[in-house]
Structure 1
């Protein structure tokens, strides 16, 4: 699940003492002018110690500052809605909804901070330029603290738009997400980012925790 920029066609200079910093600065600049995204996605989750993988695909929506929606239509069908306060995870086959506080689901770092372009992300993560070619640029974000997700962020080389993510969590699970047909600054219906549990389903609430960061 899952769950934060650049100037269009901004080219990162080939000569730089710290190329990863320039890549990231261009990415953040792009996001300052991005207010929304709609895209298709393909997702694969590998769970450590279990073997096999869980594959799914669907449609992703994001609206600043921190609203998001994932509609899973292939694989296990579910709807994930982040309304800014709660993350709603609706699993129709199980007739249940998980309601998780944002602080618990995302904390101060990770995917939501990345998509939202929040300040201070580089204070909590070390940046490493993994790969750079004519088509894409991949940057790894490793948490400076002992806990947290490690993110591999792949951007289009020409625009620095987000193309794929690899998220490794402390529990050992790895989530691979690829985006396609990415549309930027589209008008999105606000109702996409609200959720009302269907009648008769079980609602399981996980509140914010004191340790959530």
Structure 2
């Protein structure tokens, strides 16, 4: 009985040691996303990229999930300026100029204008373009490092506000010499709809014209101010 008991104790100790080692090995991978986010927010003051966005609506009973794919370009400048220009399949422009968020739907010939401070606090744009440091992000989001996946380092950001339409945002970074590169945003809203933006040709701290974030409603369009 005694040898068996001792062997069992030794087995438990070996298991505990292996688990501890595994935990130590896993910690840097989980922390990598948070480190990359902190570095990105601190060091990448402006940049540009092209993107592909796939929006997947939750499937209805007995039906397959429906996907919509869009492509376009993205530019940003901290703090609080960015431009999304959707080119296909429908042209649409979203511009934040530091004061106002503009949404221009070309087909509808309609512009919607809202004050940035009212709408950007707990949105993916706040993570990518608005916050000046990690502490500023932590005021609006609960941040958690996630295991590396698909060659990317991931952070999950959950809005602290309960009235937001965003359920969670996962941000993926590609490790690179000289700093992390923004690679993906995986957004789930409160209705279960998922939107995945994949960035390519990302250029951090690339020179941008001063007019990049200027927006004036084109003549003849309806302007709605909220």
**TM-score (norm. length: structure 2):** 0.74
Distance 1:172 1:104, change over 3 A: farther
In structure 2, what is the Cα distance between the partners aligned to 1:132 and 1:153? 11
**Is 194-203 or 18-27 further displaced after alignment?**
18-27
The residue number in structure 1 matching 2:18 is none
Q: Cα–Cα, structure 1 residues 170 and 103, in superposed 2: closer, same or farther, change >3 Å?
A: farther
Q: Could you list the runs of 5+ residues in structure 2 that have no partner in the other structure?
A: 1-23
1:35 aligns to what?
A: 45
- Corresponding position: 1:58 with 2:93: no
1:87 corresponds, among 95, 101, 122, to 101
Deviation, 1:68, is: 0.5
In the other structure, the counterpart of 1:136 is 152
1:48 to partner: Cα distance: 4.2
Aligned partner of 1:195 in structure 2 is 215
SS in 2 for 1:188: coil
- Structure ID, larger Rg: 2
Higher helix proportion: 2
Specify the SS of the correspondent of 1:192. Answer: helix
Note if 1:177 corresponds to 2:193. no
For structure 1, which runs of at least 5 residues remain unmatched after alignment? 1-13, 207-213
| Inter-CA distance 78–23: structure 2 relative to 1 (3 Å threshold) | closer
Match of 2:118 in 1: 104
Q: How much is the aligned-residue C-alpha RMSD, in angstroms?
A: 2.5
> Are the structure 2 counterparts of residues 123 and 91 from structure 1 closer, same or farther at C-alpha, using a change threshold of 3 Å?
closer
Bigger mean CA offset, 139-148 vs 14-23: 14-23
What is the distance in 2 between the residues matched to 1:145 and 1:200? 38
* Cα offset, 1:171, TM superposition: 3.6
Contact 2:50-2:74 within 8 A present in 1 as well: yes
By how many angstroms is 1:154 displaced? 0.8
Aligned to 2:55: 45
| 2:183 aligned residue (163, 179, 184) | 163
- 1:72-113 Cα shifts (integer Å, max 9, x gaps): 11111111111111111111111111112213332x222232
Structure 2 distance, partners of 1:23, 1:126, is 14
Aligned-partner Cα distance in 1 for 2:150–2:188: 26
**Which residue is 2:170 aligned to?**
152
Per the alignment, in what secondary structure is the counterpart of residue 197 of structure 1? coil
Task: Label 1:84 to 1:47 Cα distance change in 2 as closer, same or farther (>3 A).
Answer: farther
Deviations 1:40-83 (A, max 9, x none): 00012234467523211011000111110111111111111111
Which position in structure 2 is the counterpart of 1:211?
A: none
Structure-1-length-normalised TM-score: 0.78
Q: CA deviation at 1:147?
A: 4.1
Does the 8 Å contact 1:131/1:138 carry over to 2? yes
Distance 1:78 1:146 in 2: 29
